[in-house]
Amino acid sequence: MPARCPAAITLALLLLAAWASPGQAIYADQAGQHDWLQQHVGRVSLAAFAAKPRARLFVASRAGAVAALSLKDGSLLWRRVLGEGDAATALQAAGARVLTLSGGGAQLTAWDAATGAAVWAANLAGSSDLAGPDAAALAVVADGKRSLAVAVAAGSAKGFDAVTGELLWTASLPSTKSAAAVKAAPAAAGGAWVASLQPGASRLAVDLVSPTGELVSSIVLGAGAQLSSTQLLLTEAAVAALSADGTQLCSAQLEQGGGSGSLGCQALASLLPPGTATEGAHLVAGTCSQHAALRVAGGAAALALGSGSGAAVTAFVPGAAASGCFRGAAGGQQVAFATPSAAGLETRVLSAADGTAVEAPVSVAGLAPQRVSGKLVGVAELFAAPLNMGGSQAVSQLAVFDDDSLALVRGGAQAWLRHEELASIRDLLFTDLPAPTPENEAQWLASQPSLRQSLAAQLVALKVQASRVGSLPLASPEELRQLERHKAVTSDKLRPTRDPDGFRKQLVVLTAGGKVLALHNGDSRLLWSLDFGPGAGLRKLALWRVPHDVQHDIEVVALAASPDSVTATVMNAHTGKILQTLTAPASQAAGAADGAPDVLPLSQPVHDGTADQHVFVVAPAGTDGAAAVLPDTPAARAAFVAARPGFAFWRVDEVAGAVRGYGFTESGAVEERWSAVLAPPAPAGSSATQQRILALAAHTPGEAVGSPARVLGSGELKFKYLNPNTLLVAVGEPRGARSGHSGGDDSAAAGPRLTVTLLDAVSGRVLFSQTHEDATGPVHAVLSENTAVYHFWGSEAHRWQVASVELFDASPTTLRVSDLAFSETNTTTSSWDVPPIEAGAQTFLVRHAVRGLAATRSARGNTAKQVMLLTTTGQVYLVDRRLLDPRRPIVAPGQKPTPQQAAEGLPPYQPELPLQGPMFATLDRQVARLSGAAVEAAVLESTMLLAAHGLDLFYTRLTPSRSFDMVPDDFPYALLVLILGGLTVATVVLKFITRRTAVKAKWL
Range 713-752, binding other proteins (CB under 8 A): 715-717, 722-725, 727
1000: part of which helix (H) or strand (E)? helix 973-1003
438: part of which helix (H) or strand (E)? helix 438-446
* φ, ψ at 399 (rounded to 5°): -105, 125
Tell me: does residue 649 bind other proteins (CB under 8 A): yes
Tell me: does residue 435 bind other proteins (CB under 8 A): no
Q: Work out how close the CB of 1001 gets to other proteins at its nearest, in angstroms, rounded to a whole number.
A: 9
Q: Give the residues across from 410 on adjacent strands.
A: 396, 413
In Å, what is the CA distance from 961 to each residue of 5, 472, 875? 20, 38, 20
Q: What angle do CA 202, 205, 208 make, to 5 degrees?
A: 160
Q: Work out how close the CB of 593 gets to other proteins at its nearest, in angstroms, rounded to a whole number.
A: 15
Q: Report the residue number, 269 or 582, with the smaller CB distance to other proteins.
A: 582
Are 911 and 888 contacting, i.e. CB atoms less than 8 angstroms apart? Answer: no
| Residues 881-940 close enough to bind other proteins by CB under 8 A | none
Q: Report the residue number, 661 or 874, with the smaller CB distance to other proteins.
A: 661
Q: Give the residues across from 108 on adjacent strands.
A: 101, 122
d(CA 956, CA 898): 39
Spell out, one character per residue from 800 to 819, where the chain touches other proteins: x when CB under 8 A holds, - when not.
-------------x-xxx--
Alpha helices in 887-950 (DSSP H): 899-903
Are 876 and 922 contacting, i.e. CB atoms less than 8 angstroms apart? Answer: yes
Tell me: does residue 674 bind other proteins (CB under 8 A): no
d(CA 172, CA 986): 95
Q: Work out how close the CB of 500 gets to other proteins at its nearest, in angstroms, rounded to a whole number.
A: 24
Q: What is the DSSP secondary-structure string of 693-733?
A: EEEEEEBPTT---S-SEEE-TTS-EEEE---TTEEEEEEEP
| Residues 654-673 close enough to bind other proteins by CB under 8 A | 661
Tell me: does residue 598 bind other proteins (CB under 8 A): yes
| Near other proteins by CB under 8 A: residue from 117, 820, 977, 990 | 820
| Residues 967-996 close enough to bind other proteins by CB under 8 A | 995
Tell me: does residue 762 bind other proteins (CB under 8 A): yes
Q: What is the DSSP secondary-structure string of 564-607?
A: TEEEEEEEETTT--EEEEEEEE--PPTTPPP-PPEEEE-SS-EE
| Near other proteins by CB under 8 A: residue from 170, 665, 690, 830 | 830
Other CB atoms within a 10 A radius of the CB of residue 178 amount to 15
d(CA 717, CA 8): 14
Q: Work out how close the CB of 660 gets to other proteins at its nearest, in angstroms, rounded to a whole number.
A: 12
Residue length, the chain?
1004
Q: Work out how close the CB of 713 gets to other proteins at its nearest, in angstroms, rounded to a whole number.
A: 11
Q: What angle do CA 665, 669, 673 make, to 5 degrees?
A: 55
Q: Report the residue number, 63 or 561, with the smaller CB distance to other proteins.
A: 561
Q: Report the residue number, 96 or 704, with the smaller CB distance to other proteins.
A: 704
| Near other proteins by CB under 8 A: residue from 225, 435, 705, 849 | 705
In Å, what is the CA distance from 200 to each residue of 179, 252, 621, 729, 933? 10, 19, 43, 47, 46
Q: Work out how close the CB of 606 gets to other proteins at its nearest, in angstroms, rounded to a whole number.
A: 14
Spell out, one character per residue from 532 to 561, where the chain touches other proteins: x when CB under 8 A holds, - when not.
-------xx-x----------------x-x
Q: Report the residue number, 446 or 821, with the smaller CB distance to other proteins.
A: 821
Count residues binding other proteins (CB under 8 A): 72
Q: Hey, CA dihedral for 741, 744, 750, 754, is it positive or negative?
A: positive
Q: Work out how close the CB of 648 gets to other proteins at its nearest, in angstroms, rounded to a whole number.
A: 4
In Å, what is the CA distance from 397 to each residue of 91, 227, 638, 990? 17, 31, 57, 76
| Near other proteins by CB under 8 A: residue from 160, 316, 430, 616 | 616
Contact range with other proteins by CB under 8 A, out of 254-262, 439-447, 829-837, 845-853: 829-837
* φ, ψ at 980 (rounded to 5°): -65, -45
Tell me: does residue 602 bind other proteins (CB under 8 A): yes
Q: Work out how close the CB of 485 gets to other proteins at its nearest, in angstroms, rounded to a whole number.
A: 43
In Å, what is the CA distance from 847 to each residue of 314, 680, 758, 801, 931? 61, 32, 25, 8, 19
Alpha-carbon Rg of the chain, whole angstroms? 34
Spell out, one character per residue from 198 to 237, where the chain touches other proteins: x when CB under 8 A holds, - when not.
----------------------------------------
| Residues 578-597 close enough to bind other proteins by CB under 8 A | 596-597
Are 379 and 367 contacting, i.e. CB atoms less than 8 angstroms apart? Answer: no
Q: Work out how close the CB of 609 gets to other proteins at its nearest, in angstroms, rounded to a whole number.
A: 24
| Near other proteins by CB under 8 A: residue from 445, 821, 892, 975 | 821
Are 342 and 320 contacting, i.e. CB atoms less than 8 angstroms apart? Answer: no
**Which DSSP letter does residue 377 get?**
P
| Near other proteins by CB under 8 A: residue from 268, 599, 694, 807 | 599
| Near other proteins by CB under 8 A: residue from 155, 319, 601, 840 | 601
Q: Work out how close the CB of 980 gets to other proteins at its nearest, in angstroms, rounded to a whole number.
A: 24
Contact range with other proteins by CB under 8 A, out of 4-12, 446-454, 484-492, 863-871: 4-12
d(CA 516, CA 537): 12
Tell me: does residue 825 bind other proteins (CB under 8 A): yes
Q: Work out how close the CB of 215 gets to other proteins at its nearest, in angstroms, rounded to a whole number.
A: 56
| Residues 82-141 close enough to bind other proteins by CB under 8 A | none
Q: Work out how close the CB of 721 gets to other proteins at its nearest, in angstroms, rounded to a whole number.
A: 10
Can you say how many angstroms the Cα of residue 905 is from the centroid of all Cα atoms in its chain?
37
Q: Work out how close the CB of 575 gets to other proteins at its nearest, in angstroms, rounded to a whole number.
A: 24
Residues 6+ apart with CB under 8 A from 330: none
* DSSP SS3 for 977: helix
**Which DSSP letter does residue 35 get?**
-
Q: Work out how close the CB of 586 gets to other proteins at its nearest, in angstroms, rounded to a whole number.
A: 11
Contact range with other proteins by CB under 8 A, out of 30-38, 181-189, 546-554, 647-655: 647-655
Q: Report the residue number, 798 or 1002, with the smaller CB distance to other proteins.
A: 1002
| Near other proteins by CB under 8 A: residue from 471, 739, 747, 826 | 826
**Which DSSP letter does residue 370 get?**
B
Asked if the bond preceding 681 is cis, omega within 30° of 0, the reply is no
| Residues 280-319 close enough to bind other proteins by CB under 8 A | none
| Near other proteins by CB under 8 A: residue from 5, 330, 360, 655 | 5
Contact range with other proteins by CB under 8 A, out of 58-66, 109-117, 304-312, 760-768: 760-768
Q: Report the residue number, 573 or 697, with the smaller CB distance to other proteins.
A: 697
Give which of 802, 783, 782, 781 is closest to 793, Cα–Cα: 802
76 in the Ramachandran plot: left (φ > 0), alpha (ψ -120 to 50) or beta?
A: beta
| Near other proteins by CB under 8 A: residue from 204, 338, 517, 648 | 648
Q: Report the residue number, 701 or 736, with the smaller CB distance to other proteins.
A: 701
Q: Report the residue number, 319 or 585, with the smaller CB distance to other proteins.
A: 585
| Residues 11-30 close enough to bind other proteins by CB under 8 A | 11
Q: Report the residue number, 8 or 297, with the smaller CB distance to other proteins.
A: 8
Q: Work out how close the CB of 572 gets to other proteins at its nearest, in angstroms, rounded to a whole number.
A: 21
Q: Give me the amino acid identity at 159.
A: G
Q: Report the residue number, 699 or 957, with the smaller CB distance to other proteins.
A: 699
